[in-house]
Amino acid sequence: MKKKKKTLIITSLTSCNGCLFSILDLGQTFFKVLEDFELADFHLIEDKKANNEIDIDITFIEGTVTRKEEKIKLKNLRQQTKTLIALGACAHLGNIQKIKNYGNKDKILKYVYPSSGEKIDNWKIQPLSAYVPVDFVIPGCPPNNQEILEVLRQVAIGSKPHLPDRPVCYECQIKNYPCLLLEDKPCLGPMIRGGCEAICLKSNLPCTGCRGRVNEPNEEKMQELLGNKEYERVLEIFGNK
Amino acid sequence: MSVREKITISINAINKIEGHAGFVGKLENGLIREARLEVKEGARLIEGILIGRKYTEAPWITARICGICPTVHNLTAIKAIEKALRVKASPQTTTLRKLMLFGQFIQSHMTHIYFLALSDFFNLKSDLTLVKINPKITREAIQIRDFGNLILNTIGGRNIHPTTTAIGGFRKLPSGRMLNKILNTAKKNLETANDLFDFLNNLTFPEFQRLTVFAALANKQEYALYNGQIKLPKNKTYSPQIFLKKANEEQEMAGDLIKKVKIARESYLVGALSRINLNYRKLNPFARKALARAEFTLPCYNIFYNLLAQMIEVIHATEETIKILSEFKIKAEKIQKYKTKAGRGLGVTEAPRGLLFHYYEIDARGFIKNCNIITPTAQFLANLENDLEKFLENSRKENDIKMLIRAYDPCITCAVH
């Protein structure tokens, strides 16, 4: 007997939508993988109305809750979905839009909208897990689409999604990229979760932490290496502070 | 006395665009009173969060304004900061950045043409059906899109949110071998791009037009994407600074998230169709030939032909890549040395959807004091709404309205940012 296909939603809240485009970057492979699913909603490639009534097996959601409607959307999706996957740094950490949390939010809002800042619904940024239970996180800004593919394949056959939890340094050393910490550059590699193939280090760009912390990071050592101020500055970029 | 007949057309979600928006149209006694796009996402306050941060973060953070055109935000921020710090990029750096722009255009245009817009022309709701009924076109479109990504990955380090670019040069240069791979792939793709153009050219395009003003970058040497003056019809040109004095950003209503831009209170068009209208003389030979075969004549005011204009640009960018790389030899080059100092700089480029401005004011310690980012969609949104108003006279069908909106290729995440 043919097994029933799993139902899948891929969607977004406030973000750059880059996670969704990194899925499209899988090209033909993505269309092939989709054959194993019943696609219930992916607003970038389909023009159909989202159906809040049906049961969903897996939802990938990127972006942050920035206003009331988005919280409602997220809560509804949670209710519908068996496995809710936070996709990318916005959903996981808050990403760049969380920088406003570290300053004076009202002043920042007023800077952008001088005449009507107070009329704009603009929430403090939190990870999706602050609003609803999240079953799994695919980290990164953007996420590594090979990891997305891996997770899609895992959930298609009903296994629990899993990705390795190793620091960026692990992959950086395997690839033999020069260590930027040794050059006194503010690289968060030792405490940030890899899986990105150390792609920034490949370009001599220090890790700024888009994938969030590993389990049990040695923060004290990191702080000591970078200096308190610099450490805080880099942590703020993707909402790690 | 007759009763006033009021009709509201409301579309809650327009799928297959970048970001989230809906549509509201209001009619009274058959007359159109309003046609508006409604933003359905939040503001990330990009300019606000940059204040007080180091200027070096601006290109890294602003790339994240957009997942479909991050490279052009990154490069425009870099250009603006280089202006502020009076850093002059080397000729090699400029060439590599131009190549990145071609990659960005090819990737973004193909995403729009194939994934977002094409289904409309077959009256389909899903790309998954499009894949099934037209595997050849799917293969070709994805192949060309992959080529754009190859350029971005090779030179930019990554196609989404580049890693190699820096103020004053590149952190890492592409190898000659990889550039050669781009050259060979470009040669292979040129014919495919031509075929795809002919396929698109045979589609049925809705008849619709409304006169408007075009604006685009222009320079004497080339089909301007990376630098130039701002050109308007009748050969009027302005420096970017003067242009921005004429082009006013404003919230139409309190609480609007997008600040629409108008020139002398009139809407204008930016993007592929605008560029082709103003700069077609600078197109490369195959792109010129494609234009000659096109189902429209210039000046063209029918936005549905934006798809063909984008495809012509894909051909042009492929040719330009071949032209540049046939004579290019990469040489080792360090990032230029420069000092942090106070200054202000305006950077402008053509993004796939049109003119993009980044402006930064930096203090002597390197912190951002002021900044402003004006995106293509914020510039053409008023034009899109004016088109919609006129379009409603022909059709009030939901599918037709969505098709017109998608033909513009709006990027709501950019427009709000």
pLDDT tens digits along B180-199: 999 999 999 999 999 999 99
Average pLDDT of chain B is: 97
Chain A residues with CB under 8 Å of B149 CB are: 25
CA distance B286 to B47: 40
User: Beta partners for B24?
Assistant: B10, B36
Q: Is the pLDDT of residue B1 over 60?
A: no
Chain B residue nearest residue A110, CA to CA: B48
- pLDDT tens digit sequence for A65-82: 999 999 999 999 999 999
How close B259 gets to chain A, by Cα (Å)? 9
C-beta neighbour count of B354 within 10 angstroms:
27
Rounded to an integer, the average pLDDT of A175-194 is 97
DSSP state letters, B155-221: HHSSSSS-SSEETTEESSPPPHHHHHHHHHHHHHHHHHHHHHHHHHHTSPPPP-----EE-EEE-SS
CA distance B85 to B66: 25
Specify the pLDDT at position A117: 79
Q: Is the pLDDT of residue A2 over 70?
A: no
Sheet holding B21-28, edge to edge: B6-11, B21-28, B31-39
Specify the pLDDT at position B217: 98
How close A25 gets to chain B, by Cα (Å)? 8
Rounded to an integer, the average pLDDT of B274-303 is 98
pTM of the model: 0.98
Is the Cα torsion angle B362, B368, B369, B375 positive or negative in sign? positive
Specify the pLDDT at position B182: 98
Q: Which of B20, B48, B68 sits opposite A21 (nearest CB)?
A: B68
Judge whether A93 and A240 are in contact, CB under 8 Å. yes
Specify the pLDDT at position B2: 60
- Of B61, B93, B99, the closest CA to residue B79 belongs to B93
Specify the pLDDT at position B394: 87
Q: Is the pLDDT of residue A231 over 80?
A: yes
Categorize the per-residue pLDDT at B229 as very low, low, confident or very high, splitting at 50, 70 and 90. Answer: very high
Specify the pLDDT at position A195: 98
**B397 CB-near residues (< 8 Å, 6+ apart):** none
Rounded to an integer, the average pLDDT of B71-95 is 98
Please indicate if any CB of chain B lies within 8 Å of the CB of A111. yes
Judge whether B67 and A15 are in contact, CB under 8 Å. yes
Q: Is the pLDDT of residue B154 over 60?
A: yes
Helix (H) or strand (E) holding B119: helix B118-121
The three-class DSSP label of residue B336 is: coil
- pLDDT tens digit sequence for A157-173: 999 999 999 999 999 99
Judge whether B175 and B330 are in contact, CB under 8 Å. yes
The three-class DSSP label of residue A55 is: coil
CA distance B258 to A212: 31
Q: Which of A16, A63, A111 sits opposite B66 (nearest CB)?
A: A16
Rounded to an integer, the average pLDDT of A26-34 is 95
Q: Is the pLDDT of residue A1 over 60?
A: no
CB spacing of A202 vs B46 below 8 angstroms: no
Specify the pLDDT at position B20: 97
Strand B247-250 to strand B260-263: parallel, antiparallel, or no bridges (unpaired)? antiparallel
Could you give the ipTM of this predicted complex?
Answer: 0.97
Chain position carrying tokens 């222009």: B218
Backbone dihedral region of A177: left (phi > 0), alpha (psi from -120 to 50 degrees) or beta?
Answer: beta
HSE at residue B178, side-chain half, CA atoms within 13 A, is 15
Both tokens of B56, joined, read 């070096």
The three-class DSSP label of residue B269 is: strand
Please indicate if any CB of chain A lies within 8 Å of the CB of B148. no
